């Protein structure tokens, strides 16, 4: 039995961690975007920009379409943010310290991430409008392609730890992080992570050629919630990436939570840079790449992980 947190503190801790992560993502995005566009980035402006956008959306009324699926439309961002919170909850921020330090944490994480497809499809479906629904279907094609990849690399990371608990996976990296032990793991995981958060090169359901896709009919608070939920997902997958491949809370001097935050931020920064430097992948090409190249590579990663587990066996 692992030490557990009181429910109130658990909800607060998850919420605070995610809010900080979402804000940091938005600021980083502003800074990198400013540098890439050549406009330059002023720190003060970048700190304020996300707050400004949020205030604009809060002050905007919410528009409705004809005959939307109102319940599903309200549910979609809540579901996506909720799934991100579940993902965040299993990531330990210290030895034996996690909001949900359960024995099968990696399974819970995978189960939550599998439902992301439902949330994004609901968002696309509910508006009763063409571009959002095409975006929703695109995401289904995208999700069917990255999901295998996503779970395979996480299983490979779990093999040397001989445990499905995320805490054990972190502790198994005490001497050597998985990013070095399994060099295929983190790059493949980041592809799946960008897919899960429909971010950067994998922003297929919200693409420019669909005038915003699943978010094309969103306005006001609904749009704000959808953007927040998407970035929450980005933070959650980055945190899991830090735990599974970068040694999680382990590190000298600083407390564990600080190390986890730093490593998560590093992965977020990588994904933000990818958004501004990598072109969006056409949907058919992404499916081809996943099934023909990346999933076989992920299987190879699993075999390597298995070999490492046998090697380390007592």
Partner 1 sequence: MGLRPLARLAAGPVPTFVVPGRGGRRAADDLRLDGRLRLVDSPRAAAVLLVAGTLTDRLLPAAMLAHDQIPGPRATVQWVPEGRRDRLAGTFSAPVLLRGDVDVGAAVAATYRELLAGDRPSDPPVYPDVPPAPWRGAGPYGQGGKGMSGGVPYGRPLAGRAPDRDGLELDRLPLEIGPLFPPFPPGLILRIDLQGDVVQQVAGWENALAFGRPPRDIFRRALREPVALAELEVARARHHLRWLSGTLRLHGLPALGLRVLVLARRVGPGDVDAVASLKRKLERSRSLAWATRGIATLQPEDVRDGPGGPVARSAGIRDDLRTEDPAYRGLGFEPLTRGEGDARARWRHRLAEAVQALELAGRAGDRLVEAAGGVESPRGALRIGGSPSADLLSRLPALLPGREWGEAVALVHDLDLDMEEAVRAAREEAA
Question: In the complex, which residues of this chain contact partner 1 (CB under 8 A)?
Answer: 32-34, 36-39, 48-49, 51-53, 55-56, 58-63, 66-67, 130, 134, 137-138, 200-201, 203, 207-212, 215-220, 223, 276-285
**Is residue 153 within 8 Å of residue 301, measured between CB atoms?**
yes
d(CA 276, CA 32): 7
d(CA 192, CA 198): 9
Q: What residue has token string 């499809």?
A: 121
Closer to partner 1 by CB, 263 or 275: give it. 275
Q: Least distance (Å) from partner 1 to the CB of residue 131?
A: 8
Which class for 228: exposed (0-12), middle (13-18), buried (19 or more C-beta within 10 A)? buried
Closer to partner 1 by CB, 51 or 78: give it. 51
No. of helices (H) and no. of strands (E), the chain: 13, 0
Closer to partner 1 by CB, 108 or 218: give it. 218
Closer to partner 1 by CB, 12 or 56: give it. 56
Q: Which residues are bridge partners to 94 per DSSP?
A: 97
Residue 295 neighbours by CB distance under 10 Å: 18
Q: Least distance (Å) from partner 1 to the CB of residue 250?
A: 33
d(CA 80, CA 245): 24
Q: Least distance (Å) from partner 1 to the CB of residue 3?
A: 41
Q: Least distance (Å) from partner 1 to the CB of residue 140?
A: 11
d(CA 51, CA 92): 29
- The candidate with the shortest Cα–Cα distance to 264, out of 35, 61, 84, 116, is 84
Closer to partner 1 by CB, 63 or 254: give it. 63
Closer to partner 1 by CB, 289 or 299: give it. 289
Tokens of residue 280, six digits = 């969006």
Q: Least distance (Å) from partner 1 to the CB of residue 198?
A: 12
Q: Least distance (Å) from partner 1 to the CB of residue 99?
A: 31
Q: What residue has token string 């997902």?
A: 233
């Amino acid at each position: 039995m692992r030490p557990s947190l009181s429910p109130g503190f658990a909800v607060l801790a998850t919420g605070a961690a995610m809010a900080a992560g979402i804000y940091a993502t938005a600021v980083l995005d502003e800074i990198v975007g400013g540098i890439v566009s050549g406009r330059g980035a002023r720190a003060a402006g970048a700190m304020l920009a996300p707050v400004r956008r949020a205030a604009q959306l809060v002050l905007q009324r919410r528009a409705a379409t004809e005959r939307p699926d109102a319940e599903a439309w309200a549910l979609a961002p809540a579901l996506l943010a909720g799934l991100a919170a579940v993902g965040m909850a299993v990531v330990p921020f210290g030895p034996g310290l996690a909001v949900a330090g359960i024995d099968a944490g990696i399974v819970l994480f995978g189960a939550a991430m599998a439902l992301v497809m439902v949330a994004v499809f609901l968002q696309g479906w509910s508006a009763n409008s063409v571009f959002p629904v095409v975006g929703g279907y695109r995401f289904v094609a995208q999700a069917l392609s990255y999901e295998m990849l996503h779970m395979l690399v996480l299983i490979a990371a779990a093999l040397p730890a001989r445990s499905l608990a995320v805490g054990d996976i972190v502790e198994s990296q005490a001497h050597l992080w998985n990013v070095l032990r399994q060099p295929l793991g983190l790059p493949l995981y980041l592809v799946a992570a960008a897919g899960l958060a429909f971010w950067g090169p994998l922003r297929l359901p919200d693409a420019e050629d669909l005038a915003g896709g699943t978010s094309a009919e969103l306005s006001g608070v609904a749009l704000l919630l959808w953007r927040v939920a998407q970035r929450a997902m980005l933070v959650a997958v980055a945190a899991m990436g830090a735990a599974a491949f970068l040694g999680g809370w382990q590190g000298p001097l600083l407390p564990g939570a600080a190390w986890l935050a730093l490593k998560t931020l590093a992965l977020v920064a990588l994904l933000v840079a990818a958004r501004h430097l990598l072109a969006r992948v056409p949907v058919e090409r992404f499916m081809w790449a996943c099934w023909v190249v990346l999933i076989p590579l992920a299987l190879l990663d699993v075999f390597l992980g298995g070999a490492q587990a046998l090697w380390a066996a007592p």
